[in-house]
């Protein structure tokens, strides 16, 4: 079947319509109901769009091939979380893939809005998260968020959800890359039915503002003073922070032995 039907084989192969529809389902479905939503995602991957021709092709396909067989080729939706690309928005500077060009100052703001959106996924929190991810100037400034929001609030809600999903996956990858800073939560019992990679949790939130200040006041000052630290790219900051945490832990243990 696979050699005759061309379908997306990864998140990055999905077209814009598929991304928006799947992101909407992914972010708005509870763990308990995810199996039903996953069934709909499989359909979206094969349907490709809501045009009459694609609807006809999907109807023809489903009459001849069971959904259990079709699902064998779409497992990436439930098994992977590697979509890190942000869409272009006219008039704004989008983040690089996996927010590779974001300063730690901007990351601090993004992560604050992400925490509130992930805790309570309201439209207002979603709009705030999206506005925090884009810039209107090369250098990020918290004061520009209002101007950015004037633009981002006009894009479709489902496009905002694609942006949120890209950050959700990026944030998970950051957590795995820097486990010293983002320790793993206790694992919940696994279930056999399909589940989303992410579920909402009420984890204790530590604003990155405090971490940035802590780094600038560190006795070693590896990244300089606060105004210098704010401009450091987020991955460089997290790498240095990880080393700093390990250094101070080792130093504390050494002092305990004395």
C-alpha 211/C-alpha 164 separation (Å) is 24
Residue 242 near residue 178, CB atoms below 8 Å: yes
Pick the closest to residue 44 from 71, 80, 72 (CA basis).
71
The pLDDT tens digits of the residues spanning 142-165 come to: 999 999 999 999 999 999 999 999
Find the domain containing 44 and state its range.
11-79
Pick the last residue of a domain from 170, 189, 224: 170
Question: 163 and 220, same structural domain?
Answer: no
Question: 21 and 75, same structural domain?
Answer: yes
Count of domains in the chain? Answer: 3
Question: 135 and 166, same structural domain?
Answer: yes
Query: 1 in a domain, yes or no?
Result: no
Query: 198 in a domain, yes or no?
Result: no
Biggest alpha carbon–alpha carbon distance for the chain: 77
- CA angle, residues 207, 137, 15, in degrees to nearest 5: 85
Query: 181 in a domain, yes or no?
Result: no
The pLDDT tens digits of the residues spanning 6-41 come to: 899 999 999 999 999 999 999 998 888 888 899 999
Question: 69 and 132, same structural domain?
Answer: no
Query: 222 in a domain, yes or no?
Result: yes
Question: 146 and 111, same structural domain?
Answer: yes
The pLDDT tens digits of the residues spanning 65-110 come to: 998 899 999 999 999 999 999 999 999 999 999 999 999 999 999 9
pLDDT at 33: 85
pLDDT at 190: 56
Residue 152 near residue 89, CB atoms below 8 Å: yes
């Amino acid at each position: 079947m696979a050699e005759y039907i061309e379908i997306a084989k990864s998140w990055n192969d999905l077209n814009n319509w598929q991304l928006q529809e799947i992101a909407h389902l992914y972010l708005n479905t509870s763990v308990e109901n995810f199996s039903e939503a996953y069934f709909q995602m499989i359909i979206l991957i094969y349907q490709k769009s809501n045009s009459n021709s694609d609807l006809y092709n999907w109807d023809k396909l489903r009459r001849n091939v069971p959904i259990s067989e079709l699902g064998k080729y779409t497992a990436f939706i439930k098994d992977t979380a590697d979509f890190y690309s942000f869409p272009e928005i006219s008039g704004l500077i989008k983040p690089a893939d996996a927010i590779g060009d974001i300063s730690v100052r901007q990351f601090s703001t993004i992560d604050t809005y992400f925490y509130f959106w992930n805790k309570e996924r309201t439209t207002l929190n979603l709009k705030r998260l999206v506005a925090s991810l884009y810039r209107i100037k090369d250098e990020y400034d918290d004061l520009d968020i209002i101007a950015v929001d004037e633009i981002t609030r006009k894009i479709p809600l489902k496009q905002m959800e694609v942006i949120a999903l890209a950050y959700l996956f990026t944030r998970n990858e950051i957590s795995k890359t820097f486990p010293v800073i983002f320790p793993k939560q206790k694992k919940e019992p696994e279930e056999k039915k399909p589940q989303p990679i992410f579920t909402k949790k009420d984890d204790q939130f530590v604003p990155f503002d405090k971490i940035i200040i802590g780094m600038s006041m560190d006795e070693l000052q590896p990244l300089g003073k606060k105004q210098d630290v704010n401009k450091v790219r987020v991955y460089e900051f997290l790498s240095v922070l990880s080393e700093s945490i390990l250094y101070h832990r080792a130093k504390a243990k050494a002092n305990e032995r004395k």
